[in-house]
Structures are given as C-alpha cells and as structure tokens.
C-alpha cells in the first residue's frame, strides 16, 4: 500500500438512511482523495434503500454502488461478503474503510482475510506521510496509541465514531450512482437471524445527545441512576454509564460508554462516581468538556476533566438538580 | 462435542494509566515489575461459555489453544483449573512479532491439525491490542461461518443458537457447526477455579507444537509473514487542567459548578 488516492467506503444504512458515521468516513475519504486527486467510492447493501445512494453523493462520494435486495434486510457477514468483495474487485481501491460499529467490527476482519490482507480496527486518526498511509488507533484499553501501516493492498481499516468531520451536505453535488444486481448465492449464507431484540431504553439518543450524565460504581444502585436520570432531564441530556454499573444491572447495557460500549462526543460529559479507567475514557475522551464528581480526589477521571467536585454524589445530584431548575426559571 | 477456546496471555489490562509505560524505541509496553500475564478477560468469558455448554449438554471436551512464549503456561494452568480438559500451546520463536494475520494463520492450522472440532470460541478482542480480528480471521481461513459478540450460546439439535450483543439490544442467530464464535463481556460473571478441577489440572495433558509441527513455513509467520507494520507506539498526552470547585456544602459546590457551566455556555 503506497498511497491512498482511491478509497472505498462501505456504508451502513439504518431504516434506509446512511448512519452518521458514513458521513464522517466520507469526510475523511474526501480529505485524503482531494490531496492526491483521487476518487471516493462507496458501496451500500440493503433493502429499501430509498435515497441512500444520493445521500452518500451529497456527502462526498464520487461513485456509489448500490445493491437493493430483500436478502440484505438484515445484516449478516455471509450475505454481505461476496458482493462487497466483487465491488472492491471492480474499484481496485488503495484503501477500504468501514465504520467501527457492531456491523463493521464483524464485517471488516472477514473481508480483510478474504482479500488476503489485515485490518486496523477502531482508527481515530489517518494521514498520508511520505506516500504511506498511516493509521492511528488506541490500544491497551486506550492507555496507548499505535500507528500502523499495511504492506498488503488494499489497506483495510475501521473508523471510530466521532473522530472525523463530515463534509457539509451538497444536494447538487455530481456523482455516479450505479445500481447493481447481487451475485450472492443465497445457499452460501450459513447463518440465520432468527430474532432481533431491541432494547427498550432508546440508547441511540445517547450517541447524539449534547449533554451526557454518566454514572458509575459510585451511584451505588438503581436509586443513584434515578437521580442521574432526573439530572439528565433537567439538562435536556441523556444518561450513560460505566461498565461496572451496567454489569451490576443498574443501567441497561445499551447505555455503556467505553471501549466495549459506545463512543460519545457530547459538548458536556458529566462523569459521576466513575473512576475514569482508560477503558471508560476511551468512549468519552472526545467530549468537549468533561466534568467529574467523585469522593476520591485522586480518581483518574479528574485528569481528563475541566471542572471537578470532590464530594458525595448522592448529596450533590439533588443540589445540582435544584440549581439547574432555578436557572431555568 | 469438541470445543476449542483460543486464549491469549496479556499484561493485566486493569493497571492504572498513571503507571502504564511504553518503550517507544522498542515499540513495546514496559511490563511492570512483579506483575504476571493474565488470560485476556474476554477469553476467560469465552471459556466460561464453553463450560456452560458442556454443563448443559452433559458431555463434550474443551481444549485451550494459545500461541505465545513459554510464559503463557500460567494462563493455561488457570484455564485447566477452571475446567478445560487439555491444552495445546504453539511455542516457537518464528511466531514472534507477527500480526493478527499470522496469529490467525497459526491458530487455524492448529485447529485443522487437531481435527473434529465443532466449535471454536475466541474473545471479541484481546485486551492488549484491542484488535478483534483473529477470531473472524480463523473463520475465513478455515472457510467457516463466524458470529461475533456472543453473550449466550445454546446447542440444540446440532445447531448453535447464539445471542449476539448489539449496541441497542441483541439478536438471535442460528449457525451450523463447525463455526467460530467470538465472545463479549455480556456473558456475565465467570466462575472461580474449583478445588476439584485445580487438583485435576496438574494431570491434564498440555501439548506444545512448533511451526514445523504445524506444517507452516517460517516465511508465513511472525515478522516475515506480517502484513501490518508497527510504526509507532506511544502514550498520548493529556493536558487538561482540572479546576476543582470550592464550597462548604453540597449546595455551594453545586451552585459553583452550575455557574461555571452556565458562564461557559455549556448549559
Ligand atoms: C477489556 C476491557 C474492556 C472494558 N470496557 C469498558 C467499557 O467499555 N466501559 C467501561 O466503563 N469500563 C470498561 N472496562 C472496565 C474498566 O476497566 C473499569 O473497571 C470500569 O470502567 C470501572 O467503572 P467505575 O469507575 O464506574 O467503577 P469503580 O472502579 O467501582 O469506581 C467507582 C468510583 O466511584 C467513586 N465513588 C464511590 N462512592 C462515591 C460517591 N458516593 N460519590 C461520588 N463518587 C463515589 C469511587 O471513588 C470510584 O472512583 C473494561 C475493562 C476491560 C479489561
Ligand atoms: N496469541 C494468541 N493465542 C491464542 N488466542 C489468541 C491469540 N491472539 C488472539 N487470540 C484469540 O483471538 C481473540 C481476538 O484477538 P485479537 O484479534 O488480537 O484482538 C482473542 O480474544 C483470543 O481469543
């Protein structure tokens, strides 16, 4: 892999719309391609895709390959791989990027090995230097970062959410939309999705919230989270949690922020009773401002925080709710 | 039913960031004096799922498979004392400094040589590199289906019924055997080593294979076979200065914080 002029973005679609991370990837791809006069390709598989292809063009893709077929209603690697593999064979990109989501983290390694290459997962920074594509990714639970490059082509990587700026949407942007037929042999799909269980607690809002109130072990139980919920309501924000709090059942797993949970980047992240382990901070480090409330003045979370209160959150949360409600009046 | 659980020895992932060091020139983490390698936590959860499957079926064998230096013996012992039946260690200097590709290749070759494997379990990611690649890689190399982020597995009528954790809930997936399944922490609490299994562990068979015994050429392994080049490893700087609120009472502290946040137009 010597350069990165031709890029291929694998787009993920939910309810017919490309997810926000697609736009972030297109922003990155555009920046890389514009420096070298290259092309940004995108590929999307799904069922009932509507204007997804046009949306990708408006956000920076030059060509979009679309396959709209009922078999792609539910993601499965076995179903996605043959057509993606074929698209990549047509485009011959220097690099392929996929979102680091449950779908992308499942798909990317399979695709990489099918192409005989490796993949750098969860990249938060990408640049070309001396003709080399340098991929930066956190490792050791977020305590370190590594920069890697690939010897084999195409270079595959997955992109961590909230790390790259999307291009502004341009409705009149020109681009080529190629609608294709699937080459998939349905008999080659060995797995079957029997049922999808949606979490009732609307965790999706967590990722787009401007303010997140997150609770950890210091919450001491469900009661603590009730207060955190009231505080989040007063602020018009969403509730997040550490893994300890989710593992103990105080909060649904869809609220978990961190390395093995969600990545959030709100304007304001209020970490309450959270120690600030690297694996937690990995999911909120891109917040504009972090505030910590903790009884332990030496808790690592204060090292990432702009404002801190050393104190008992069970006394502080009601006081905060009062002050914020007073402010609103 | 024959289950293989891939387990990796890693430095304790829960050590505090404040004492974590890397040697930038050598591009390696500096091990803390007096600390031992541990089994990567998701691998421990994979082993837990294997044990639950064996408990539910009332039959089956569980083999630990690990690639690494001789120091990985302690995690093998740990896995055997949790209830695994035997272990296969891939130990050879030619494995050194490989990448996910070469690791998957060696593990896949070992699984093929073993023969008769119905289910291969790995962690969702090893908690040192946090890659999450090797499990799916093994599946592709062996031409097997793969299901990632399992929180539960039930074996019925020779089929796997897997609950897969998603960001917003979960999905139930059916897969034929043999298959690869990667395991996530939603599995929940893992068991402790029992006295009975610990007593038995010392007598359980532990085999070691070299690259040659795997039938793999040194050029496909380690540094020579790696597709990924590690250019740099470093600890990112973090230069946030924390302003601690002052106040005698919770009300005063809260009031000061709200004032700050309001002034900064954050609320
Ligand atoms: C591979 C791996 C992946 C992981 N992934 C994640 C992840 O995605 N997300 C995640 O969060 N963690 C993750 N972890 C776990 C992580 O390492 C920590 O164990 C976890 O984040 C700790 O959660 P906590 O800070 O809420 O709990 P604790 O460590 O129990 O800390 C509780 C904190 O609350 C404070 N406190 C106690 N009482 C009060 C009070 N009354 N008022 C105010 N403060 C109080 C304490 O001083 C302490 O700082 C992962 C770990 C591993 C090994
Ligand atoms: N050296 C190794 N020995 C045994 N299993 C491994 C090794 N490296 C990775 N694995 C398995 O593959 C999973 C994913 O690893 P990785 O792709 O490195 O994040 C781990 O959780 C292990 O189950």
Per-residue pLDDT band for B72 (boundaries 50, 70, 90) equals confident
Domains of chain A in start order, with CATH, are 6-188 (3.40.50.620), 206-328 (3.40.50.1220)
The answer, for B38 touching chain A at a CB cutoff of 8 Å, is: no
Which value does ipTM take for this structure?
Answer: 0.96
* pLDDT(A253) > 50: yes
Per-residue pLDDT band for A202 (boundaries 50, 70, 90) equals low
The answer, for B199 touching chain A at a CB cutoff of 8 Å, is: no
Which of B173, B231, B236 has the CB atom closest to A191's CB atom? B173
Domain map (residue ranges) of chain B: 2-225, 238-267
Instruction: Tell me the per-residue pLDDT of B14-59, one tens digit each, with 9 for 90 and over.
Output: 999 999 999 999 999 999 888 889 999 999 999 999 999 999 999 9
Tell me, what's the pLDDT at B239? 83
Ligand 2 center–CA B171 separation, angstroms: 24
Q: Are A268 and B261 inside 8 Å of each other by CB?
A: yes
Mean pLDDT, range B222-234, rounded to an integer: 97
Which two three-digit tokens encode residue A245? 């709090």
Mean pLDDT, range A248-276, rounded to an integer: 96
How many angstroms separate the Cα of B69 from the Cα of each of B46, B137, B224?
A: 21, 21, 18
| CA nearest to B170 within chain A | A197
Whether a cis peptide bond, with omega within 30° of 0, leads into A142 is no
Q: Are B229 and A149 inside 8 Å of each other by CB?
A: yes
Tell me, what's the pLDDT at A203? 61
Q: Are A143 and B17 inside 8 Å of each other by CB?
A: yes
Tell me, what's the pLDDT at A161? 95
| CA nearest to B247 within chain A | A309
For ligand 1, atom 51, the nearest C-alpha belongs to A279
Q: Are A307 and B258 inside 8 Å of each other by CB?
A: no
- Report chain A's mean pLDDT, rounded to a whole number: 95
**Residue A313: CB within 6 Å of ligand 1?**
yes
Per-residue pLDDT band for A293 (boundaries 50, 70, 90) equals very high
C-alpha span between A311 and B250 (Å, rounded) = 8
- Report chain B's mean pLDDT, rounded to a whole number: 96
Nearest Cα of chain A lies from the Cα of B88 at a distance, in angstroms, of 24
Q: Which chain B residues are Cβ-neighbours of A146 within 8 angstroms? A: 27, 230-234
State whether the Cα torsion A55-A59-A63-A67 is positive or negative.
Answer: negative
Which of B103, B104, B146, B221 to probe ligand 2 with, by most ligand atoms within 8 A of CB?
B103
Mean pLDDT, range B140-164, rounded to an integer: 97
Instruction: Tell me the per-residue pLDDT of A165-176, one tens digit each, with 9 for 90 and over.
Output: 998 999 999 999
Q: What is the pTM of this model?
A: 0.96
Taking residue A307's Cβ as centre, other Cβ atoms within 10 Å add up to 22
Tell me, what's the pLDDT at B238? 86
Ligand 2 center–CA B133 separation, angstroms: 8
Which of A147, A198, A327 has the CB atom closest to B168's CB atom? A198
**A&B contacts, CB < 8 Å:** 243
Instruction: Tell me the per-residue pLDDT of A33-61, one tens digit each, with 9 for 90 and over.
Output: 999 899 999 999 999 999 999 999 999 99
Alpha helices in A153-256 (DSSP H): 204-208, 222-235, 243-247
Instruction: Tell me the per-residue pLDDT of B76-98, one tens digit each, with 9 for 90 and over.
Output: 999 999 999 999 999 999 999 99
The answer, for A153 touching chain B at a CB cutoff of 8 Å, is: no
Percentage above 70 pLDDT, chain A: 98
Kindly provide the residue ranges of all beta strands, DSSP E only, lying in chain A, ordered along the sequence: 6-11, 13-14, 17-18, 39-46, 63-68, 95-99, 119-123, 125-129, 132-139, 144-150, 155-159, 176-179, 192-198, 211-215, 238-241, 268-272, 289-294, 307-310
Tell me, what's the pLDDT at A1? 41
Select from 2.60.200.20, 3.10.620.30, 3.40.109.10, 3.40.50.620 the CATH code of B2-225: 3.40.50.620
Instruction: Tell me the per-residue pLDDT of B163-176, one tens digit each, with 9 for 90 and over.
Output: 999 988 999 999 99
Per-residue pLDDT band for B236 (boundaries 50, 70, 90) equals very high
C-alpha span between B267 and B263 (Å, rounded) = 8
Which two three-digit tokens encode residue B27? 């591009």
Instruction: Tell me the per-residue pLDDT of A73-129, one tens digit each, with 9 for 90 and over.
Output: 999 999 999 999 999 999 999 999 999 999 999 999 999 999 999 999 999 999 999
Q: Which chain B residues are Cβ-neighbours of A258 within 8 angstroms? A: none
- Smallest-distance ligand from the CA of A316: 1
**Residue A41: CB within 6 Å of ligand 1?**
no
* pLDDT(A13) > 90: yes
- Smallest-distance ligand from the CA of A281: 1
Nearest Cα of chain B lies from the Cα of A168 at a distance, in angstroms, of 24
In the structure, which protein residues have their CB atom closer than 6 angstroms to any atom of ligand 2? B 6-8, 40, 42-43, 65-68, 100, 103, 107, 122-123, 125-126, 129, 131-135
Which of B29, B130, B171 has the CB atom closest to A197's CB atom? B171
Tell me, what's the pLDDT at B167? 86
* pLDDT(A239) > 70: yes
Tell me, what's the pLDDT at A2? 46
Nearest Cα to Cα of residue B137 among A123, A119, A151: A119
3-state SS assignment for residue B117? coil
Mean pLDDT, range A195-212, rounded to an integer: 85
CB A123 within 8 A of CB A159: yes
Alpha helices in chain A (DSSP H): 20-36, 52-58, 77-91, 102-114, 204-208, 222-235, 243-247, 278-281, 313-328
Percentage above 70 pLDDT, chain B: 100
Which two three-digit tokens encode residue B3? 């289950």
Ligand 2 center–CA B254 separation, angstroms: 46
């Amino acid at each position: 892999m010597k350069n990165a002029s031709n890029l291929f973005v694998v787009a993920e679609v939910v309810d017919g719309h490309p997810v926000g991370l697609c736009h972030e990837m297109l922003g990155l791809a555009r920046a890389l391609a514009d420096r070298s006069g290259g092309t940004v390709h995108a590929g999307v598989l799904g069922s009932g895709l509507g204007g997804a292809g046009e949306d990708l063009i408006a956000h920076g893709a030059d060509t979009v390959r679309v396959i709209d077929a009922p078999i792609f209603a539910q993601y499965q690697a076995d179903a996605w791989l043959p057509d993606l593999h074929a698209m990549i064979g047509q485009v011959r990109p220097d690099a392929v990027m996929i979102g680091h989501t449950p779908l992308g983290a499942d798909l990317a390694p399979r695709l990489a090995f099918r192409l005989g290459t490796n993949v750098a997962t969860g990249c938060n920074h990408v640049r070309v230097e001396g003709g080399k594509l340098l991929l930066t990714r956190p490792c050791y639970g977020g305590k370190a970062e590594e920069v890697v490059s690939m010897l084999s082509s195409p270079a595959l990587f997955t992109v961590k959410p909230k790390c790259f700026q999307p291009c502004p949407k341009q409705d009149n942007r020109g681009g080529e939309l190629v609608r294709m037929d699937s080459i998939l042999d349905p008999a080659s799909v060995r797995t079957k999705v029997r049922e999808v269980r949606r979490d009732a607690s609307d965790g999706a809002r967590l990722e787009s919230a401007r303010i997140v109130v997150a609770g950890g072990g210091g919450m001491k139980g469900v009661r603590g989270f009730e207060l955190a919920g009231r505080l989040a309501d007063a602020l018009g924000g969403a509730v997040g949690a550490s893994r300890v709090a989710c593992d103990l059942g105080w909060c649904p797993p869809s609220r978990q922020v961190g390395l093995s949970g969600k990545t959030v980047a709100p304007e304001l992240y209020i970490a309450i009773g959270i120690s600030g382990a690297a694996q937690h901070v990995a999911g909120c480090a891109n917040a504009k401002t972090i505030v910590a409330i903790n009884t332990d003045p030496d808790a690592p979370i204060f090292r990432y925080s702009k404002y801190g209160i050393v104190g008992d959150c069970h006394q502080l949360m009601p006081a905060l709710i009062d002050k914020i409600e007073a402010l609103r009046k | 039913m024959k289950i293989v659980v891939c387990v990796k020895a890693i430095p304790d992932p829960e050590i505090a960031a404040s004492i974590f060091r890397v040697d930038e020139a050598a591009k390696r983490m500096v091990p803390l004096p007096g600390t031992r390698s541990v089994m990567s936590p998701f691998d421990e959860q994979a082993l837990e799922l294997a044990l639950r499957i064996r408990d539910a079926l009332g039959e089956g064998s569980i083999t630990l498979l690990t690639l690494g230096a001789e120091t990985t013996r302690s995690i093998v012992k740990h896995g055997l004392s949790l209830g695994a039946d035997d272990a296969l260690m891939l130990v050879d200097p030619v494995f050194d400094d490989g990448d996910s590709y070469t690791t998957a290749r060696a593990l896949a070759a070992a699984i093929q040589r073993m023969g008769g494997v119905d289910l291969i379990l790995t962690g969702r990611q090893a908690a040192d590199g946090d890659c999450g690649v090797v499990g799916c890689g093994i599946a592709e190399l062996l031409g097997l289906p793969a299901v990632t982020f399992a929180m539960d597995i039930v074996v019925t009528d020779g089929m796997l019924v897997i609950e897969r954790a998603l960001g917003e809930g979960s999905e139930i997936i059916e897969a034929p055997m043999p298959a690869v399944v990667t395991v996530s922490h939603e599995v929940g609490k893992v068991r402790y080593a029992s006295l009975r299994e610990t007593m038995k562990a010392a007598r359980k068979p532990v085999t070691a294979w070299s690259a040659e015994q795997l039938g793999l050429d040194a050029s496909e392994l380690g540094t020579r076979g790696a597709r990924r080049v590690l250019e740099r490893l470093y600890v990112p700087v973090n230069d946030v200065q924390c302003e601690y609120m002052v106040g005698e009472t919770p009300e005063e502290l809260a009031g000061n914080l709200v004032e700050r946040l309001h002034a900064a137009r954050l609320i």
